[in-house]
Structure 1
């Protein structure tokens, strides 16, 4: 073995000794194993602060208000494709009928029958009067509403039918079905006609 080989062996042995000494001096930092175990555990839930919760509540309320406003607008918006309202044609004759026999020949206020402004309101309500008619009057009808307020006449007959009529004097109103004995077929009123004016 030559001098170079001996020198290399000595250097290697010296390095081994130094590495062993350095390895013995290295100590595990305190808390290292606890930190490693904690990193393997599932993360804890973070608590949402009160300010963030308030922000979410305000955002949710704003979305709710916008939704309600948009829905309301959609329900009451004017229909762009709705056909224009056509004037009602009063071309079907109907005759007024009073169930009270003693009133039939009289044209007094006590024997007058009411034409209503609104077929869906209470018939006898103070603000629901469009005009007066009497037994035997001939009126012109335009259409009929079949689901108006139920009215009962003096003989006990009831009906939810209401006729949109015009008197010879030009007064328009709604005649309850119990106030006529109509036998002529009439068309159903459109939504625009059925609304009180």
Structure 2
């Protein structure tokens, strides 16, 4: 009987030690698996790449303009102002219609422009005084004979200023006392209002005079 208890006690002690060692080995394996899992998760997290431009989109959100909504209280005054402006314009138009000027009457055009020319007498003795012997004739027709009785529109004298309207270059040729000839004739008006044709040899004009249109007499 003494042997039995010692055997049981030894076996029990041995069994107790075996259970304790088995439990220790199980806890160590669990810790290793957990550490391995954490290491793999950390590695996977480090390998994740951030998409390009993600942080810029987060920092600068889209700035879309939201259409402004005008409150009804602000729109009403604008409508009132537009209505008032239209009414004022209508009244102004009506007043203008009542006081508008009558039909415009076209006034006749003024006299055509002229060029000043001076009468020249080749005879020195006739350059002073206004005798009939020294008078020079203005003709009615630059193409008729200058000395014809009916071809006289008036008289001018040396030094008279005349207003030349135009000139013809194909008139009858005239020769003065100095032997100068010309077929130019100027349509002139004297200071007394006499209108006629002055032979080109009776002036020493240096200014440009426009040619007469066809049919001018």
TM-score range, shorter chain: 0.5 to 0.7
The C-alpha deviation readout for 1:6-32, integer Å capped at 9, x for no partner, is xxxxxxxxxxxxxxxxxxxxxxxxxxx
Q: Could you say if the C-alpha distance between residues 88 and 147 of structure 1 is closer, same or farther in structure 2, counting changes exceeding 3 Å?
A: farther
Which position in structure 2 is the counterpart of 1:58?
A: none
- The answer (yes or no) to whether the contact 1:90–1:165 under 8 Å persists in 2 is no
Matched, 1:108 2:145: no
Deviations 1:30-63 (A, max 9, x none): xxxxxxxxxxxxxxxxxxxxxxxxxxxxxxxxxx
Instruction: Check 1:93–1:144 CA distance in 2 against 1; reply closer, same or farther (3 A cut).
Output: same
Structure with greater helix percent: 2
2:166 is the counterpart of 1:143: yes
Equivalences, count? 109
User: More relative contact order in 1 or in 2 (CA 8 Å, sep 6+)?
Assistant: 1
Q: What is the RMSD computed on CA atoms of the aligned residues?
A: 1.4
Aligned residue number for residue 183 of structure 2 = 160
Q: Report how far residue 191 of structure 1 moved.
A: 1.2
Q: Compute the displacement of 1:91 (Å).
A: 1.7
1:106 shift after superposition = 1.9
SS at match of 1:129: coil
Question: Any unmatched runs of 5+ in structure 2?
Answer: 1-108
Please, which runs of 5 or more residues in structure 1 have no aligned partner? Answer: 1-85
C-alpha displacement of 1:87:
8.1
Q: 2:193 aligns with which of 164, 167, 170?
A: 170
**TM-score where L is the length of structure 1:** 0.53
